Amino acid sequence: MKDLLGGKGANLAEMTNLGLPVPPGFTISTQACNAYLDSGETPDGLDREIGAHLAALERAMNRKLGDPADPLLVSVRSGAKFSMPGMMETVLNVGLNDESVHGLARQAGAAQGADSAAAQRFAWDSYRRLIQMFGKTVCDVPGDEFEHALEGAKKAKGTTSDLDLDATDLRALVEAYKNIFVQHTGRDFPQHPREQLDLAINAVFESWNAERAVLYRRQERIPADLGTAVNVVTMVFGNLGPDSGTGVAFTRDPASGNQGIYGDYLANAQGEDVVAGIRNTVPLQELERLDKTSYDELLGIMARLEEHYQDLCDIEFTIERGKLWMLQTRVGKRTAAAAFVIATQLVDEGLIDLDEALNRVTGVQLAQLMFPRFGTGAKADLVTTGMNASPGAAVGQAVFDSQTAVRRSAAGEQVILVRRETNPDDLDGMIAAQGILTSRGGKTSHAAVVARGMGKTCVCGAEELDVDTRGRRFTGPGGLVVEEGDVISIDGSSGAVYRGEVPVVPSPVVEYFEGQLDPTDEKADELVRAVHRIMSHADEARRLAVRANADTPEDAERARRFGAQGIGLCRTEHMFLGERRQYVERLILADSDSEREQALAALLPLQREDFIGIFAAMDGLPVTVRLLDPPLHEFLPDITELSVRVAVAEERGEAHENELRLLQAVHRLHEQNPMLGLRGVRLGIVVPGLFAMQVRAIIEAAAEHRKAGGEPRVEIMIPLVDAVQELELVRDEAERVATEVCQREGIEVPHLIGTMIELPRAALTAGQIAEAAQFFSFGTNDLTQTTWGFSRDDVEAAFFSAYLDRGIFGVSPFETLDRDGVGRLVRIACEEGRATRPDLKLGICGEHGGDPDSVHFFHEVGLNYVSCSPFRVPVARLESGRAAVRTAGSDSR
């Protein structure tokens, strides 16, 4: 029920159902949040429902919220469908006021026996925390003011530790905090417990739209309209003495996937202290010594949770005077490597099957594993080793604040964000940086959790470093000083921090795809074996074939090693650049048929050579060659430069006839909207002999390859077709040329002729176009451009950020296919094309062919293949497999 209750609320309910020790409470739904955010006021009925659930909670606890004699206190926490660590608000200790603080002291004292000083201290400290959190979160009082007052109190006492402040100090601090509250809000700190609760709930609702939450959602592609649930839960205290404490744990190592006990514990502290990474924690194993009963119970619960969720879980817990309470659990975030390893481990443990294992990993994770990492033998200046919080290798200039990270990275520099610890305000700096280095905090600190979520390299808790953010430098062992701008390298897999630039080496996963690493070899690590197993299963399961977009034999070879089953798009335009430009220029300037034919004749053998190499690299597999697409003037000199050159020459009386002709041609061919101009099939129709030359080169190359014993599988593709008539003209000419070459060479060259579907008219008349086409390949780049009316070269930089901010779309339609609009055209074209020609082959070769989400759509509409850049081929294979097992799963349900 995550949609309605948020992840935290749903899992609290789940744990309660499992009979685990969860403090009693209730969850306010995301629907209530959305209704509140839409109208700006409390939705009808919410007030009454909160009253009813609060009353039930009070009955269950046998205490009343904020009761002066024996108060019930609650925490009010956000919890969205997808985890957004630290991005939204929390208020603890709701229910405390000037009277109930005494009641809390009595409760604590009664439980603690005679030590009433400690109980008093605890109660006033709790009240202080409430005013601080409530002030900051609910009423926007600047947090610094409270911090400042706290620092003042410590200074007056001559100490640097909160723990040295006694009840009297804290009581005075409460007064100071209340004054700060009045100054900033113009009202007294609310004393009525229910008012506190209502205001805290609204503040949590509103925190859904806090700037950092919006930014995080955009980064993580979490939809903006989900809203957050609010969990109102009885407070339990980890700061009631040495037999209390709080911790976080994973049921397996989230960095490597290895089984074991992974977690941090902090005695006599509240949960916030651990997550913020403010105090250094001890490893969870220490708890065995401190409180064996709770430790054993916790281990039992962890095993239970893994079995129940059949996955790695992370948990937060608190021990209140020897009693263990589960505060939260969720299926834990993990590194990309751990995702693969854990999925296969769970298969081996019999908890899930291979289909499910495939479901548990993503193309985005696989792409992360294909990044390079540092070489093991690299000799570099090792400075220190921190915690390996999020893997990868990052090199960049050290910067010490978020703004500098953003500024320098916008200027094209690579930076590493170095902080003592990070907090949610550092988010945009973390996004901009190559990696993150902190000197404090464990694997569950903010920096670690957020970096892992982003797939960003992070080393945290490098305690030997002294980070001086004001002085913009850090110091380390042996007198090391690193100033802002100095280059450092961090290894998120080992935790190593180096001074200077460490060379990076390719990822083992890429080496595996390249065929340089044998996954069955004993030396292959667990990750490579896991990737191999899951990829093999994806290949077995998938229905979509995966081809590559490749224009050179080198790219074709690499694509083939990566598992491409052919070329879905061989663009021929680059074959007309460089030295060959002169022939194209001659072709454009030709005054007579014979001049044009000469230019084409010069191009023919060059084109033939291009194709021979590609057919050889893809021997036995289909190769779709697309005839020339871009506007002709792209092959001519820049209009402004040429105009100036000619004007200067004329001024000097040196004007050259050729230059003048060139300028005329440039003017003649100049277009205001070249993307909508003379390109693709239009060129083929307007420039006699151009497409014929290309077809001749293709068929001659294939004939030669066949004669040499090869098996070319030729597909000739016509770009930018709007109408079947265009296609018929070009197809007929192409067939004439093919027949002529085959007869002359005395050999058959089997081939298909098809078209790109990349204009709305083509999609809408696909039924007619299929009469003349043996295959369709969707050019979703142009189809997106022309469906939305967005210039693909300009709009992303021009105004997409405003569109993303305003929620018009969650991700650029050039990146992930717009299912509702462009997708609808694709669907129509598939259906109507196949109605005309049932064996019509359907593929896609726009950028979306390698985008995980879009691959699922192409599977759904029943394409035969997707084609993408060689490096994305493994991602497309994996996602095609995932799409297939997902559909199979939902069919059987």
Return the active site residues: 446, 845
Stretch that binds ligand PEP, among 122-130, 262-270, 666-674, 777-785 (CB under 6 A): 777-785
- Restricted to residues 765-804, the positions that interact with Mg ion (CB under 5 A) are 779, 782
Residue from 551, 557, 700, 782 binding ligand PEP (CB under 6 A): 782
Residue 832's binding partner, choosing from Mg ion, ligand PEP, none, with beta-carbon cut-off 5 to 8 A by kind? none
* 845 part of the interface to ligand PEP, by CB under 6 A: yes
Residue from 768, 781, 812, 864 binding ligand PEP (CB under 6 A): 781
Closest distance to ligand PEP from the beta carbon of 216 (Å): 31
Output 665 or 756, the one with its CB closest to ligand PEP.
756
Output 428 or 758, the one with its CB closest to Mg ion.
758
Closest distance to Mg ion from the beta carbon of 782 (Å): 4
DSSP classification of residue 293: H
Closest distance to ligand PEP from the beta carbon of 235 (Å): 57
Residue from 277, 495, 684, 779 binding ligand PEP (CB under 6 A): 779
Cα–Cα distance measured from residue 742 to residue 143, given in angstroms and rounded to the nearest whole number: 81
Residue from 555, 715, 758, 879 binding Mg ion (CB under 5 A): 758
Closest distance to ligand PEP from the beta carbon of 882 (Å): 23
Q: DSSP characters for 452-464?
A: HHHT-EEEE--TT
Residue 569's binding partner, choosing from ligand PEP, Mg ion, none, with beta-carbon cut-off 5 to 8 A by kind? ligand PEP
* 851 part of the interface to ligand PEP, by CB under 6 A: no
In 3D, which of 789, 696, 786 has the Cα closest to residue 744? Answer: 696
Residue 684's binding partner, choosing from Mg ion, ligand PEP, none, with beta-carbon cut-off 5 to 8 A by kind? none
Contacts 24+ apart (CB under 8 A), 821-825: 821/787, 821/788, 822/780, 822/783, 822/784, 822/787, 822/788, 823/857, 823/861, 825/760, 825/763, 825/764, 825/783, 825/787
* 682 part of the interface to ligand PEP, by CB under 6 A: no
Closest distance to ligand PEP from the beta carbon of 573 (Å): 8
Secondary structure class of 495 (helix, strand, coil): coil
CB 552 within 8 A of CB 613: yes
Distances (CA, A) of 653 to 265, 646, 667, 708, 839: 86, 10, 22, 57, 65
In degrees, to the nearest 5, what angle opens at C-alpha 889 toward C-alphas 887 and 893?
115
- Restricted to residues 22-61, the positions that interact with Mg ion (CB under 5 A) are none
Output 585 or 758, the one with its CB closest to ligand PEP.
758
Residue in the block written with tokens 């050579």: 609
Q: DSSP characters for 641-682?
A: HHHHHHHHHHHTT---HHHHHHHHHHHHH--SSGGGSS-THH
Amino acid in the structure at residue 671: E
Output 530 or 845, the one with its CB closest to Mg ion.
845
Closest distance to Mg ion from the beta carbon of 779 (Å): 4
Cα–Cα distance measured from residue 321 to residue 6, given in angstroms and rounded to the nearest whole number: 30
Distances (CA, A) of 302 to 267, 314, 697: 20, 9, 66
Number of residues in contact with Mg ion under rule CB under 5 A = 3
Residue 465's binding partner, choosing from Mg ion, ligand PEP, none, with beta-carbon cut-off 5 to 8 A by kind? none
* 369 part of the interface to ligand PEP, by CB under 6 A: no
CB 432 within 8 A of CB 523: no
* 846 part of the interface to ligand PEP, by CB under 6 A: yes
Closest distance to ligand PEP from the beta carbon of 853 (Å): 17
Output 781 or 812, the one with its CB closest to ligand PEP.
781
Stretch that binds ligand PEP, among 217-225, 494-502, 589-597, 780-788 (CB under 6 A): 780-788
In degrees, to the nearest 5, what angle opens at C-alpha 145 toward C-alphas 143 and 148?
110
Output 146 or 635, the one with its CB closest to Mg ion.
635
How many residues are present in the chain?
893
Output 571 or 645, the one with its CB closest to ligand PEP.
571
Q: 745-764 mask for ligand PEP (x: CB under 6 A)?
A: -------------x------
Cα–Cα distance measured from residue 409 to residue 456, given in angstroms and rounded to the nearest whole number: 15
In 3D, which of 63, 64, 87, 67 has the Cα closest to residue 77? Answer: 87
Q: At what angle do helices 593-617 and 690-707 cross, to 10 degrees?
A: 40
Closest distance to ligand PEP from the beta carbon of 829 (Å): 14
Count other Cβ atoms within 10 Å, centred on residue 558: 19
Output 252 or 633, the one with its CB closest to ligand PEP.
633
Residue 341's binding partner, choosing from ligand PEP, Mg ion, none, with beta-carbon cut-off 5 to 8 A by kind? none
Taking 3-state DSSP, the helix, strand and coil percentages for the chain, each rounded to the nearest 5, stand at: 50, 15, 30
- Restricted to residues 625-644, the positions that interact with ligand PEP (CB under 6 A) are 629
- Restricted to residues 217-236, the positions that interact with Mg ion (CB under 5 A) are none
Residue 429's binding partner, choosing from ligand PEP, Mg ion, none, with beta-carbon cut-off 5 to 8 A by kind? none
Stretch that binds ligand PEP, among 390-398, 533-541, 635-643, 773-781 (CB under 6 A): 773-781
Cα–Cα distance measured from residue 694 to residue 737, given in angstroms and rounded to the nearest whole number: 10
Residue 706's region, left for phi above 0, alpha for psi from -120 to 50, else beta, is alpha
- Restricted to residues 542-581, the positions that interact with ligand PEP (CB under 6 A) are 569, 571
Cα–Cα distance measured from residue 281 to residue 246, given in angstroms and rounded to the nearest whole number: 10
Output 198 or 782, the one with its CB closest to Mg ion.
782
Cα–Cα distance measured from residue 136 to residue 189, given in angstroms and rounded to the nearest whole number: 12
Amino acid in the structure at residue 76: V
Cα–Cα distance measured from residue 57 to residue 753, given in angstroms and rounded to the nearest whole number: 72
Please, which residues have CB within 8 angstroms of residue 657's CB and are 6 or more apart in sequence? none
Number of residues in contact with ligand PEP under rule CB under 6 A = 10
Output 28 or 683, the one with its CB closest to ligand PEP.
683
Residue 571's binding partner, choosing from Mg ion, ligand PEP, none, with beta-carbon cut-off 5 to 8 A by kind? ligand PEP
Output 155 or 824, the one with its CB closest to ligand PEP.
824
Query: Rule CB under 5 A: which residues touch Mg ion?
Result: 758, 779, 782
Interacting residue ranges for ligand PEP, rule: CB under 6 A: 569, 571, 629, 758, 779-782, 845-846
